[in-house]
Amino acid sequence: MKEATKNWFTLADKELKLAEFSLKANEPIGVIYHLHASIEKLLKGIYEETKGNPPKIHSLKKLAVDCCSLNLQQKELKLLNILDKAFIDSRYPDDISSFESKYNISNCIDLIKETKDSVKCLKSLLIKN
């Protein structure tokens, strides 16, 4: 594995830890931001390993499907769509209380678990190749 890929994966793991810290601090915006960043950095690591310097885009679905040419399960695609929308909502919330109601701590706990599962799945795709 390339050193740059390892760096991307290390950053992805750090973002996941930051999401968990945000959860403990009862900060859904932080949870969403760091979960999205974790998957984004992981996908950029996969791109780095397989194709070279990753594009400077933030759309998880575009990175996974269009850029990395990954054939993902419906579960992973659903998570990427949720995180892409939630990321935009967290960056430009119309109303913070509405955001925190929609992405409450219970939902964030579920998203962290799903993200951890997807991280394992995505890493295994690269290891298989």
pLDDT at 16: 97
3-128 has which CATH code? 1.20.120.330
pLDDT at 127: 66
pLDDT at 69: 87
pLDDT at 70: 87
Domain extent listing, the chain: 3-128
In order of 59, 61, 125, the CA distances from 69 in angstroms are 14, 10, 11
What are the residue ranges in the chain where pLDDT is below 70? 127-129
DSSP letter, residue 63? I
pTM: 0.93
- Count, residues in the chain: 129
101 vs 117: CA distance, rounded Å? 24
pLDDT at 67: 84
